[in-house]
Amino acid sequence: MSRFLEVAADAARTAGKFLLENRGRIPPDQITEKAKNDFVTRIDQQSEEIILKILHDAFPDHQIVAEEGSRRRSDSPYRWFVDPLDGTTNFIQNLPMFAVSIALLKESEVLCGVVYDPVHDELFQAERGQGAFCNGKPIRVSQENNFSRAVIATGFPHRRKIYLPDYLLTFNEIFLRCSGMRRCGSAALDLCYTAAGRYEGYWELGLSPWDVAAGSLLVSEAGGKVSDFWNRPDFLKSGFIVAGNPSTHARLIDFLKIRFQPENNLGD
Ligand code: IPD
Ligand code: CA
Ligand code: CA
C-alpha cells in the first residue's frame, strides 16, 4: 500500500470514528441550510478539520479541496478532494448510510481513493492499477449482464431541479426495465456498492468532485466503467456520472444520452 493510501485510510477511519460518536446527537442549532435542502452540521466541519490536519501533517505541500470550504493551494500537482461526511441528510435523520470520502488526484487523474462507512465498519480503497478492496479483500463489479435482473442506484437532482422533468422520464424508462432501484443518499457509497457488485449500476447528476472522485476509482479498479452521461471521461467537472459493470453502464448510457444534452450540463 502506498503512503498516500495509508494516510488517506487513517484520515477516513479517524473522521469516521468521530462521526459515529456523534451520530444522533446533533442539536438543531448546529445544523445550517447552505442552500435549499442542502445541510451542513458542526460535525461535518469538525470531521473536515480532523481530515485536513492528518493530510496536511503528512503532505504539507499538497493541495486540498474540501467540501465545507477548506482550501490549501500550492504549486504541487497533487490535490486531495475531501468529503468529510457524505450523506449529511441521512446523518441528521439518524439513518445509517453515510461515509467519509477522500481522493488524491495528480493533475486530473485519480491516483487513490478511500471511502469509509463507520456504521458498517467498511473501508473501501483503491489505487490506480492495483485493484479495489473492501476491508482488505478484493472486490469486483457484478457479473450480471441481464438488465432485467439489475438493481440500479441513483440520486435525486436536488441541486439541479431544472433537470427534474428529464430525470423523472429517465427514471421511469429505467425503472420499467430493471429489477429494482435504490436511493441510499450517499453518492460515495453508491459507487462503492457498485464496485462491490451490490448494485449493477448507478447514475446521478449535480455532483461535486469530492462526492465521486474516490468512488469512481473503486468502480474502475473493480472492473467497471465510469463516465459522464455521454460516455466521456470528464464526469468530475460536469457532475453527471454513470457507473456500472460494463454491460449495465452501456445500457444506462443508452437511456441517459437521449434525454440529456451535453451542452446543457453547465446549467443550474
Ligand atoms: C450528497 C450525497 C447524496 C447526493 C447528493 C450529495 P452530502 O452529499 O452524496 O447521495 O444525492 O447530491 O450532495 O451533501 O451529503 O455530502
Ligand atoms: Ca457529498
Ligand atoms: Ca458532505
For residues 203 and 242, the answer to whether their CB atoms sit within 8 Å is yes
Same domain, 134 and 151: no
The DSSP result for 68-128, as a single string, is TS-EE--S-SEEEEEEEEE-HHHHHTT-S--EEEEEEEETTEEEEEEEEETTTTEEEEEET
State the chain's mean pLDDT as an integer. 94
Average confidence (pLDDT) over 197-224: 98
Atom number of ligand 1 nearest to Cα 211: 9
Around Cβ 10, how many Cβ atoms within 10 Å?
15
> Which residue is it, cell 460518536?
21
Domain boundary residue among 138, 170, 189? Answer: 138
Write the pLDDT tens digit of every residue in 103-138. 999 999 999 999 999 999 999 999 999 999 999 999
Write the pLDDT tens digit of every residue in 4-23. 999 999 999 999 999 999 99
Q: What pLDDT shows up at residue 268?
A: 41
68 lines ligand 1 (CB under 6 A): no
Same domain, 56 and 20: yes
- Is the overall model pTM greater than 0.85, yes or no? yes
Please give the helix or strand (H or E) that residue 55 lies within, else none: helix 42-58
Mention every residue, 6+ apart, whose C-beta is less than 8 A from residue 224: 141, 194, 195, 243, 244, 245, 246, 249
The DSSP secondary-structure symbol of 267 reads -
Same domain, 171 and 206: yes
83 lines ligand 1 (CB under 6 A): yes
Distance CA 212, CA 257 (A): 20
Q: What pLDDT shows up at residue 145?
A: 97
Residue 180's identity, in one-letter code, is G
> Which residue is it, cell 453518492?
187
Which CATH number do you get for residue 118? 3.30.540.10
Average confidence (pLDDT) over 213-233: 98
Same domain, 172 and 218: yes
Ion ligand 2: protein residues whose beta carbon lies under 5 Å: 83, 86, 211
Ligand 3 centroid, distance to 245 Cα (angstroms) = 26
161: its cell numbers: 431541479
Burial class (CB in 10 A: 0-12, 13-18, 19+), 7: buried
Q: 23 is in which domain, residue-wise?
A: 3-138
Same domain, 7 and 133: yes
Around Cβ 129, how many Cβ atoms within 10 Å?
7
Same domain, 236 and 171: yes
Residue from 93, 81, 99, 83 nearest 37 by CA: 93
Domain boundary residue among 138, 171, 204? Answer: 138
127 lines ligand 1 (CB under 6 A): no
Answer yes or no: is pLDDT of 160 > 90.
no
Domains held by the chain: number: 2
33: its cell numbers: 441550510
